[in-house]
Amino acid sequence: MKKQEPQTLISDLGEVKLIERLTKDFSVKYQSTKLSIGDDSAVVDLKSGSTVISTDLLVDKIHFNLDYMPLMHLGYKAVVVNISDIYAMNAKPKYILVSIGVSNQFSVEHLEMLYQGIKLACKNYNIELIGGDTTANNRGLLISITAVGNAIDGKIVKRSGATIGDLLVVSGDLGAACLGLMVLERENQKVLKNPHYSPILEPYQYFIGRQLKPEAGKKIFEFLQKNQITPTSMIDLSDGLSTELSHLSRSSNVSFEVFEDKIPISAQLEKIAKKFNMNYLELVLNGGEDYELLMTIKQKDLPKIMVNPNLTVIGSVSKKTSKNQLIKSNGTRFEIVPKGWDGFDYLTKSHIQTHHNDKPSDKS
Amino acid sequence: MKKQEPQTLISDLGEVKLIERLTKDFSVKYQSTKLSIGDDSAVVDLKSGSTVISTDLLVDKIHFNLDYMPLMHLGYKAVVVNISDIYAMNAKPKYILVSIGVSNQFSVEHLEMLYQGIKLACKNYNIELIGGDTTANNRGLLISITAVGNAIDGKIVKRSGATIGDLLVVSGDLGAACLGLMVLERENQKVLKNPHYSPILEPYQYFIGRQLKPEAGKKIFEFLQKNQITPTSMIDLSDGLSTELSHLSRSSNVSFEVFEDKIPISAQLEKIAKKFNMNYLELVLNGGEDYELLMTIKQKDLPKIMVNPNLTVIGSVSKKTSKNQLIKSNGTRFEIVPKGWDGFDYLTKSHIQTHHNDKPSDKS
The pLDDT assigned to A192 comes to 94
pLDDT at B250: 92
Are A294 and A234 in contact by the 8 Å Cβ rule? The answer is yes
Q: Residue A1: which pLDDT band, with cuts at 50, 70 and 90?
A: very low
Sort out which chain B residues have CB atoms less than 8 A from A139's CB and list them.
138-139
Lowest-confidence region among A192-196, A314-318, B30-34: B30-34
Task: For residue A73, give the H/E element and its range.
Answer: helix A71-87
* pLDDT at residue A344 in the model: 61
Q: Which of A308-312, A340-344, B288-292, B329-333 has the lowest mean pLDDT?
A: A340-344
pLDDT score of A113: 93
User: Nearest Cβ partner of B133 from A9, A10, A55?
Assistant: A55
Walking along chain B (364 residues) 10 residues at a time, the average pLDDT comes out as 65 79 82 84 87 94 94 97 96 94 90 94 94 90 95 92 97 96 94 94 95 97 97 95 94 96 95 90 93 98 97 96 91 90 50 34 32
Q: Which range among A81-90, A140-149, A353-362, B251-260 shows the weakest confidence by mean pLDDT?
A: A353-362
- Closest Cα in chain B to A346: B136
Substitution target in B9, B12, B40, B350 with the highest count of A β-carbons within 10 Å is: B40
Q: Are A1 and A67 in contact (CB under 8 A)?
A: yes
The pLDDT assigned to B45 comes to 85
For residue B46, the model assigns a pLDDT of 86
Choose from A34, A52, A107, A135 for mutation: most chain B CBs within 10 A. Answer: A135
Report yes or no: B305 at the A interface, CB cutoff 8 Å: no
A258 at the B interface (CB within 8 A)?
no
- Predicted local confidence at residue B41, as pLDDT: 86
- Report the gap between the CA of B85 and the closest CA in chain A (Å): 5
Interface check B88 vs A, CB under 8 A? yes
Closest-CA residue of chain A to B18: A344
CB A151 within 8 A of CB A50: yes
Q: How far, in Å, are A62, A352, B260, B341 from residue A59 at the CA level?
A: 6, 12, 45, 25
Question: For residue A341, what pLDDT is reported?
Answer: 65
Query: With an 8 Å Cβ cutoff, are A144 and B99 in contact?
Result: yes
Structure confidence by residue, pLDDT tens digits, A202-257? 999 999 999 999 999 999 999 999 999 999 999 999 999 999 999 999 999 999 99
Q: Check A236 against B40: CB less than 8 A apart.
A: yes
Residue B141 and residue B136: Cα distance in Å, rounded?
9
Q: State residue A358's pLDDT score.
A: 34
Q: Is A299 helix (H, G, I), strand (E, B) or coil?
A: helix
* Interface residue B17 vs chain A (CB under 8 A): no
Determine the pLDDT at residue B342. 62
Give the best residue of B9, B32, B57, B145 to mutate against chain A (max A CB count within 10 A).
B57
Task: Mutation target for A interface from B53, B153, B155: give the one with most A CBs within 10 A.
Answer: B53
Q: Please tell me the least confidently modeled range out of A96-100, A134-138, A351-355.
A: A351-355
Mode of pairing for the β-strands spanning B255-259 and B324-327: parallel
Cβ neighbours of A145 (radius 10 Å): 29
Distance from CA of A70 to the nearest CA of B (A): 20
Task: Residue B19: count other Cβ atoms within 10 Å of its Cβ.
Answer: 19
The pLDDT of residue A364 is above 70 = no
Q: What is the pLDDT of residue A343?
A: 55
Task: State the pLDDT at residue A346.
Answer: 47
Q: What is the ipTM of this complex?
A: 0.88
Q: CA B336 to CA A324: how far, in whole Å?
A: 66
Chain B CB contacts of A337 below 8 Å: none
The DSSP result for A219-252, as a single string, is HHHHHHHHTT---SEEEE-SS-HHHHHHHHHHHH
User: What is the reported pLDDT for A23?
Assistant: 84
Interface of A with B in 123-162 (CB under 8 A): 130-140, 142, 144, 146-149, 151, 156, 158-160
Mean pLDDT computed over every residue of chain A: 89
Helix (H/G/I), strand (E/B), else coil: B295:
strand
Q: Is B244 on the interface with A (CB under 8 A)?
A: no
- B68 HSE (CA, 13 A, CB side): 24
